[in-house]
């Protein structure tokens, strides 16, 4: 079962979702949406190319909504959602999907938890009935919690504790965010996972798993006329739950830059990175979010970016170099740069060269040609991303559970197209100029 144990695994998706139509209002997926009486939002993205649908239920709750001392509870509950209900035996849901030729999965992030099935359109009724059932009728016992908790602990060992880069990422998040809950790992801290019991998990389930805290998204060979009666039949019959206000702690100002160095005998490729707290669409200086996407593309978005050309191609001191930024978080986002040195290259040289490229951007700005090229690359990527079945449902799910709207997704390209060299420079200065950051080095441990 897919588990998301890093923030914003889908950062690139919203950057490349749109086909550019010069001189016209851009549109992306042209979804239809409606609201059930109990407060559940429904989004339908019609695509008749194949008699297949992807059915997704997204909950507006993730690891950042967990109470102190309960890290990992959102992720563990995701596992336990497959353990059976008042109407279905443990494993019956998955068996029914497989028996009917479908696929299913689920994932957890800091801001959302989602469950989905990809199946033939004539089986849509079946998966809607089963998914609605486990929204409200989940049955779990201590006997089920204990072994599944062990599964999660083993997942943590294999994906974090045994991988130096994953260990370092946890330390980076804990250093970058002093108080905001993004500092906590999605999979949870081991000692807190061990303390999770059935009473805590059921209380979390009853609080957050309700139709008014969920979004139904169906993509594929279906339209609103077909879907609405099914949505009303299965999900509309579920009573509304308590209204949820996602109150989160406030991040205080950072007072010092932080440097993390990790040596490990399993490191075969050293790496360097630097991260800054940045605004998102929903938090901080939101007016810079779209321009920052363009800045990230120019600095380190691929083979045409400044970092790749300078460090990898021209000076040939790095095997890879780039930048990353995404704007979909409910809370603050992260702007980062990174590089992996070639054998024999000192990490100090890598850091100096990356810092010099950042300084050039802040001092000289970016050119109109670079901005046009960045937007063009995003447009080209969109041609392929738009045709990738399931991507639309993913993009809307991430956006709508993290404070966004259908209109914002659909109008993304117009905002990107409005970015200029001047607004790009303003955004870069707002995040990178004189701002506190976390620098991290992952090194091979010298042989004794």
The structure tokens listed for 354 are: 């990356």
Neighbours of 88 (CB within 10 A): 19
- Residue-wise DSSP of 224-242: HHHHHHHHHHHTTTSPP--
- Residue-wise DSSP of 133-162: HHHH-B---HHHHHHHHHHHHHHHIIIIIT
For residues 278 and 422, what is the distance between their CA atoms, to the nearest angstrom?
A: 18
Structure-token match 């690891």, residue found: 63
Structure-token match 């938090």, residue found: 283
SS3 category, 263: strand
The structure tokens listed for 349 are: 């040289």
Answer yes or no: are the C-beta atoms of 168 and 127 closer than 8 Å. Answer: no
Task: Select from 225, 237, 223, 243 the least CA-distant residue to 37.
Answer: 237
The CA-based angle 314-326-376, given to 5 degrees, is 60
For residues 279 and 327, what is the distance between their CA atoms, to the nearest angstrom?
A: 7
Answer yes or no: are the C-beta atoms of 53 and 109 closer than 8 Å. Answer: no
Structure-token match 């009573």, residue found: 239
The CA-based angle 188-190-195, given to 5 degrees, is 90
The catalytic position among 70, 78, 104, 410 is 78
SS3 category, 177: coil
Answer yes or no: are the C-beta atoms of 405 and 215 closer than 8 Å. Answer: no
78 catalytic? Reply is: yes
Specify the DSSP element, H or E, that contains 421: helix 421-432
Answer yes or no: are the C-beta atoms of 38 and 211 closer than 8 Å. Answer: yes
For residues 342 and 269, what is the distance between their CA atoms, to the nearest angstrom?
A: 9
For residues 247 and 192, what is the distance between their CA atoms, to the nearest angstrom?
A: 22
SS3 category, 399: helix
Answer yes or no: are the C-beta atoms of 121 and 51 closer than 8 Å. Answer: yes
Answer yes or no: are the C-beta atoms of 433 and 362 closer than 8 Å. Answer: yes
Q: Which residues carry out catalysis?
A: 78
């Amino acid at each position: 079962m897919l588990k998301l144990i890093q923030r914003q695994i889908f950062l690139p998706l919203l950057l490349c979702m749109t086909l550019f139509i010069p001189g016209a209002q851009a549109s992306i997926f042209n979804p239809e949406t409606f609201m059930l009486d109990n407060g559940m939002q429904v989004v339908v993205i019609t695509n008749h190319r194949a008699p297949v649908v992807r059915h997704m239920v997204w909950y507006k709750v993730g690891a950042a909504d967990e109470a102190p001392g309960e890290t990992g509870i959102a992720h563990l509950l995701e596992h336990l959602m497959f353990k059976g209900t008042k109407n279905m035996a443990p494993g019956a849901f998955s068996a029914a999907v497989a028996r009917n030729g479908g696929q299913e999965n689920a994932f957890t992030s800091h801001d959302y938890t989602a469950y989905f099935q990809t199946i033939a359109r004539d089986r849509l009724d079946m998966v809607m009935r089963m998914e609605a059932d486990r929204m409200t009728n989940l049955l779990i016992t201590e006997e089920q919690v204990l072994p599944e908790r062990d599964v999660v602990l083993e997942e943590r060992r294999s994906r974090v504790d045994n991988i130096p880069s994953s260990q370092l990422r946890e330390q980076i998040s804990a250093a970058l965010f002093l108080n905001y809950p993004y500092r906590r790992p999605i999979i949870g801290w081991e000692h807190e996972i061990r303390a999770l019991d059935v009473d805590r998990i059921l209380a979390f389930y009853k609080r957050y798993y309700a139709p008014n805290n969920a979004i139904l998204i169906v993509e594929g060979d279906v339209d609103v006329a077909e879907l609405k009666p099914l949505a009303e039949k299965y999900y509309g019959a579920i009573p509304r739950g308590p209204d949820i206000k996602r109150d989160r702690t406030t991040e205080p100002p950072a007072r010092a830059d932080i440097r993390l160095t990790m040596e490990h005998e399993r490191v075969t490729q050293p790496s360097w990175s630097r991260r800054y707290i940045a605004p998102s669409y929903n938090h901080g200086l939101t007016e810079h979010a779209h321009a920052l996407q363009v800045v990230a593309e120019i600095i380190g978005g691929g083979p045409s970016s400044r970092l790749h050309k300078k460090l990898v191609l021209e000076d040939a001191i790095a095997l890879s170099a780039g930048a990353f930024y995404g704007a979909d978080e409910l809370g603050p986002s992260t702007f980062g740069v990174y590089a992996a040195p070639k054998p024999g290259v000192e990490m100090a040289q890598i850091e100096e060269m990356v810092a010099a490229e950042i300084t050039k951007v802040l001092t000289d700005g970016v050119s109109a040609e670079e901005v046009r090229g960045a937007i063009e690359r995003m447009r080209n990527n969109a041609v392929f991303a738009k045709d990738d079945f399931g991507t639309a449902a993913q993009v809307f799910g991430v956006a709508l559970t993290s404070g966004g709207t259908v209109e914002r997704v659909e109008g993304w390209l117009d905002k990107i197209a409005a970015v200029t060299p001047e607004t790009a420079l303003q955004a870069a200065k707002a995040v990178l100029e004189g701002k506190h950051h976390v620098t991290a080095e992952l090194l091979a441990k010298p042989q004794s």
